[in-house]
Chain A
Amino acid sequence: MTAPAVLPKLVGQRVRRREDPRLIQGRGTYVDDVTIAGLQHLAFKRSDIPHGRILSIDTSAAEALDGVEAIFTGAQIAEFLGPMPVPTPFPAPEHRAVAADVVRYVGDPVAVVVARDRYLARDAADAITVDCEPLPAVVDPEAALSGQPAVLHADFPNNVAVGPLPAGTGVGRGGQVDDSAVDGAFAEAEVVVSQRMVNQRLAPTAIEPRGVVAHFEPGKETLTIWSSTQNPHILRTHVAALTGLGQDQVRAIAPEVGGGFGAKINIYGEDLVAAAVSKRLGLPVKWVEDRSEAFLATIHGRGIIGYVDIAARRDGRVLGLKLRLVADIGAYNMLLTAVVPTQTMRMANGTYAFPVVRATLTEVFTNKTPTDAYRGAGRPEAAYFVERAMDMLAREIGMDPAELRRRNFIQPHQFPYKTQVGALYDSGDYEKALDRALEKAGWEQLKAERDAARADGRLVGLGLSMYVEICGLGPSARLPNGGWEYSQVTVERDGRISATTGVSPHGQGNETTFAQMLADQFGVPLEHIRIHHGDTAVVKQGIGTFGSRSQAVGGAALHLAGGKVKTKMAKFAAALLEAHEGDLVFENGRIAVAGAPAAGKTFAEVAAYAHRPVKLPAGLEPGLSEEAFFEPPNNTYPFGCHIALLEVDRDTGEPRLLRMVAVDDAGNLINPLIVEGQIHGGLTQGIGQALVEEVVYGDDGQPLTGSLMDYAIPRATDFPRFELDNTVTPTPVNPLGAKGVGEAGTIGSTPCIVSAAVDALGGFGVRHIDMLLRPEKLWRIIHGGNA
């Protein structure tokens, strides 16, 4: 008998993504690929003014078109669809999926067409005439706080959605504020740096726009909804509640999803309208977002102004930080709109043991597309404000920016560390990440090269930033739908393994990483394992994919479910082998007594026995399928250090990124290749914010970046080769020690790019440059603002 093949351990290995071949070859099934006999198509008529009262809607010309099944105005939709769900703990104005009386942003839906094909639906939507009385547009969030030029929602005076909400030193549980400690720190300071900074609006811009197919089957009284979502289970909850169905009657499916970046967490009006219209008409309906529609109808990210004051001594000891935030949240509260800016408050300490911190948040309604979660969701903004302030301080006192950070870090022995603003950091070793990055970049030599280039007249700058962020969302206390995750692991009759997970991957690679984990856990080949996800009829429970939680929370649930099955399988194997279950090892596709592999049974033999247990060992039920829910006790707080070298062309102002070094610590890594891919994508979006991306509204409230010609997304040629490395500081909050990495790259990179540009142009007296780093803006700085 030949010795069984030795299977390598896969956790920690650079296993290629199993998802890629089908996606690269165009074999993925997206929402728009779903078709059903009799399918009708929806098109939304949207407001082309930012603010106005609807006087009348004339649908007669549209209704006359052959093939138009139905048209519903906002008022008609309201007869059979309730207001949008807003489960955040903050008060929110009523929000109808289709506006009935007042439109509040360009893109706000006012009617929906149901027609035979999507072209006809679009023609019919164009043929609808909406008569609106224009109201003044609220565009500038700070001016809006005076209630001028208009108030969006009558119950929210001065357009204040939330706040002012204080947090940090001297703020009691009831919100009472004692300023003495903060004022004391600033009074004691030898230097205070203050700056207003704008973290501009971004459009998430997934390669696949949103889409939905809803199919209500009157005979069965069930509704199936396919949606390009990051969380089908949460979608099911809301669709059921709003269509008057039970959760047992609704099945939500997230087929292949072409990127989400947080924008597909939200429960959108179009999904709810599709479900309600399908139920109303008894017909399957489809809506797929156009690209230009996505710029209006899908949530935006960021959009927050920060007033930062940092107090320090000249030796680099920071004494305190104040951060006053004004968030421009747009026209309505969506699912997480109000919560995202609170994450910026929560991360106001950054990686530093600041003695006092005060953060204050005000959220403001404006006549713009609502904001919600976008990759990082509140943490990039915090890292930006804190790190830019640290950089300004370093310049002010003439200290190396790395040294300034080093003097203020939270130290490894201080973890778990409760910050001034209430976050409980799980673990960290910030100095280690800093040192690794400095070494990787060759910091001292880089500084010399920069100085030499400057001597030659070139405008070269170095930027460094630290970051720490919140990953592994929940726990349940922090999320309106719960913060646990679910998994079921089944060893099939033939010894193959089917596993389900409540996370809903759309680029995170969990079909690969989760299979790696199970392959090692059971000692079977990767090819024998399938990970199922994204269908509430297949995956019994779940929360979804966001907040870098797949590995830290979903992976932990998988690990626990796998452990339960393994324990049970060992009992069956022990009965077959007449051995003690504690002596058994699972490896190389066999279950055997340790030290005597040839005497064991194959994995498939034990699986077959468990499914036809003759005879059944005492105390066991047949079968090998177990489930687990994992509730994390806390978030994880991954961190890192990013360094950028950037040159500005003196004649044209064009910035060029010359080097980008990123050292990230996400705890234990399951698959470093996938981790690097996540960081590459994150860096791309983080650098994109600094260099090219911005949602722009005119003073009249009209969006000016309504297509990919006007809204720039970064391209490969915008970047040098990314230089990555990592340190490993495991987290104690889950059994894997994994922290999560989906958003990391987006968080650390943005401030270091801006700091590099400020360094490059420091000779012209500039202290801070608001994003984005448009060549024209840089050129004006070089030339003293004179053309």
Chain B
Amino acid sequence: MAVIRDMMPAFELFQPTTTDEALGLLDEYRERAWVLAGGLDSFDWLKDRVKRPAAVVDLGGVEALRAIRPAGGGLEIGAMATLREVSRSPDVRERYALLADAAEIVASPQIRNQGTLGGNLAQDTRCWYYRDGWNCYRAGGTICYADTPTAMNREHCILGASRCVAVNPSDTAPALVALDGELEIHSSGGTRVVAAEDFFVGPDVDIMRMTVLEPGDLLTAVRLPDTWAGARFYFEKSRDRQVWDFALAAVASAAKITNGTVEDIRIVVNGVAPTPLRLRASEDAVRGRQLNDEVAARAGEAAVQGVRPLNHNGFKVALLRNLVMRAVRGGEA
């Protein structure tokens, strides 16, 4: 294994201007194609010389994929809308501030200017063993290097692992799940719409993918229904430094509260499991109840039932509990 990389190997570059053109290329190259959106996850893979696609399909010129527009009482956001466009969109900000807050906290301003919502949702895991090109389960091998006695696994799973213990790193994903969002996926065979919660795939289902996207598929748009528009939102991301860092744990919550009673709530966390995780037991502990510290504590306890920390990430258990408690309280001390 080479120690120094930083220089991309050769590939064929395509820059389509329409969705159909892009789909044609993805169909032609299938698993040898790489979809390039903002390029932030992609270029790391390419420069590290770990992924070596034959063709790169750059969506930067497909204008149709960038629109943010009202649709069916809700909102439709093109997969190529940048994170900044999402966080600064008045439509998103006014009705779905949860997604705006999540998009606003990704990485750094430069990355938000370049990175896209679709790319942020579909990004690969950050597990360094996998990213460094080790032949682990996720890379098609027969071992998880992050779950060995000497592994460095401070950033890995405490919940829901199955052989692979890598976590989903997306900040916008839990917000989208909490908002009951949907994703529109095109391929040469047609169009399908997938609920956000079903879009993300854990290793128990397919250990080599993070999402339902398969070769030939193109994520084109994200739809937000009006279900949670204007609800009480809470987003918090805990990390080692204040910018340009992935979550150690993140929580996204949407709640409908009347006279202090929680009529309905969504609590979704990320950074602790292979997929963004909706915490139904925590939601049940809160739904229909008067909002108080005791209820929040119960939700926090429910969140950490069944955790299986690794050698170096036990701290995430308390982090998860505390973030869920804060999310239930909604930012009020």
Task: Flag if B315 contacts A296 (CB, 8 Å).
Answer: no
Partner of A692, one of B1, B4, B5, B241: B241
A333 to chain B, nearest CB (A): 23
Which residues from A are CB-within-8-Å of B238? 652, 654, 775
Query: In the complex where A651-B322, A652-B323, A779-B318 touch, is A715 in contact with B242 (Cβ < 8 A)?
Result: yes
Which residues from A are CB-within-8-Å of B49? 126
Which residues, 290 to 333 on B, are CB-close (under 8 Å) to A? 309, 314-315, 317-319, 322-323, 325-326
Task: Flag if A44 contacts B4 (CB, 8 Å).
Answer: yes
Which residues from A are CB-within-8-Å of B58? none
Task: Flag if A787 contacts B240 (CB, 8 Å).
Answer: no
Task: Flag if A712 contacts B241 (CB, 8 Å).
Answer: yes
Query: In the complex where A44-B4, A293-B4, A710-B128 touch, is A652 in contact with B319 (Cβ < 8 A)?
Result: yes
Question: What total count of A-B pairs have CB within 8 Å?
Answer: 93
What is the bound-complex CA distance between A260 and B317, given in angstroms?
41
Which of A3-11, A116-124, A358-366 is near enough to bind chain B?
Answer: A116-124
Query: In the complex where A118-B7, A787-B317 touch, is A48 in contact with B241 (Cβ < 8 A)?
Result: no
What is the bound-complex CA distance between A653 and B249, given in angstroms?
13
Query: In the complex where A290-B7, A704-B152 touch, is A48 in contact with B322 (Cβ < 8 A)?
Result: no
Task: Flag if A787 contacts B4 (CB, 8 Å).
Answer: no
**B28 contacts the other chain (CB 8 A):** no
Query: In the complex where A776-B154, A779-B315, A783-B318 touch, is A291 in contact with B6 (Cβ < 8 A)?
Result: yes
B69 to chain A, nearest CB (A): 32
A710 to chain B, nearest CB (A): 7
Which residues, 756 to 784 on A, are CB-close (under 8 Å) to B? 774-776, 779-780, 783
Task: Flag if B4 contacts A714 (CB, 8 Å).
Answer: no
A714 to chain B, nearest CB (A): 7
Task: Flag if A296 contacts B3 (CB, 8 Å).
Answer: yes
Which residues from B are CB-within-8-Å of A656? 242
Of B2, B4, B44, B108, chain A has the most CB atoms within 10 Å of the CB of B4
Task: Flag if B322 contacts A290 (CB, 8 Å).
Answer: no
**B259 contacts the other chain (CB 8 A):** no
Interface size on A, residues (CB 8 A): 44
Which residues from A are CB-within-8-Å of B128? 710
Task: Flag if A715 contacts B241 (CB, 8 Å).
Answer: yes
Task: Flag if B2 contacts A787 (CB, 8 Å).
Answer: no
Which residues from B are CB-within-8-Å of A775? 238-240, 248
* Interface residues of chain B: helix, strand, loop or mixed (majority): loop
Which residues from A are CB-within-8-Å of B317? 787
Partner of A714, one of B7, B239, B241, B318: B241
Task: Flag if B152 contacts A125 (CB, 8 Å).
Answer: no
Task: Flag if A787 contacts B7 (CB, 8 Å).
Answer: no
Which residues, 404 to 452 on A, are CB-close (under 8 Å) to B? none
Task: Flag if B318 contacts A787 (CB, 8 Å).
Answer: yes
Task: Flag if B7 contacts A122 (CB, 8 Å).
Answer: yes
Query: In the complex where A48-B1, A704-B152, A776-B154 touch, is A292 in contact with B6 (Cβ < 8 A)?
Result: yes
Task: Flag if A119 contacts B4 (CB, 8 Å).
Answer: no
Which residues from B are CB-within-8-Å of A107? 3
Query: In the complex where A710-B128, A779-B315, A783-B318 touch, is A119 in contact with B7 (Cβ < 8 A)?
Result: yes
Which residues from A are CB-within-8-Å of B315? 653, 776, 779-780, 787
**A66 contacts the other chain (CB 8 A):** no
Instruction: Look across to chain A and name the residue whose beta carbon is closest to the beta carbon of B5.
Output: A292
Instruction: Look across to chain B and name the residue whose beta carbon is closest to the beta carbon of A780.
Output: B315
Task: Flag if B2 contacts A698 (CB, 8 Å).
Answer: no
**B150 contacts the other chain (CB 8 A):** yes
B129 to chain A, nearest CB (A): 11
Which residues, 688 to 710 on A, are CB-close (under 8 Å) to B? 691-692, 698-699, 704, 706, 709-710
Instruction: Look across to chain B and name the residue whose beta carbon is closest to the beta carbon of A297.
Output: B4
Binary interface encoding of chain B residues 220-245 relative to chain A, with 1 for a CB under 8 A from any of its CBs, else 0: 00000000000000000011111111
Which residues from B are CB-within-8-Å of A651? 319, 322-323, 325-326
Which residues, 1 to 42 on B, are CB-close (under 8 Å) to A? 1-10
Task: Flag if A715 contacts B108 (CB, 8 Å).
Answer: yes
**A718 contacts the other chain (CB 8 A):** yes
Which residues, 370 to 417 on A, are CB-close (under 8 Å) to B? none
Task: Flag if B6 contacts A712 (CB, 8 Å).
Answer: no
Task: Flag if A125 contacts B6 (CB, 8 Å).
Answer: no
Instruction: Look across to chain B and name the residue whose beta carbon is closest to the beta carbon of A718.
Output: B242
Task: Flag if B243 contacts A46 (CB, 8 Å).
Answer: no
**A106 contacts the other chain (CB 8 A):** yes
What is the bound-complex CA distance between A709 and B244, given in angstroms?
8
Q: Which 6 A-B pairs have the closest CB atoms?
A: A787-B314, A290-B6, A651-B322, A715-B243, A122-B7, A293-B4
Besides A106-B3, A776-B248, 15 other CB < 8 A contacts? Answer: A46-B4, A48-B3, A118-B7, A122-B4, A122-B7, A292-B6, A651-B322, A714-B241, A715-B243, A775-B238, A775-B248, A776-B154, A779-B315, A787-B309, A787-B315
> Could you give 25 example pairs across A and B, Cβ below 8 Å?
A46-B4, A47-B3, A48-B1, A119-B7, A119-B8, A125-B2, A290-B5, A291-B6, A292-B5, A292-B6, A651-B322, A651-B325, A651-B326, A653-B315, A692-B240, A692-B241, A715-B242, A717-B242, A718-B241, A774-B240, A775-B240, A776-B240, A779-B315, A780-B315, A783-B318
B residues sitting closer than 8 Å to A (CB atoms) are 1-10, 44, 49, 108, 126, 128, 150, 152, 154, 238-245, 248, 309, 314-315, 317-319, 322-323, 325-326
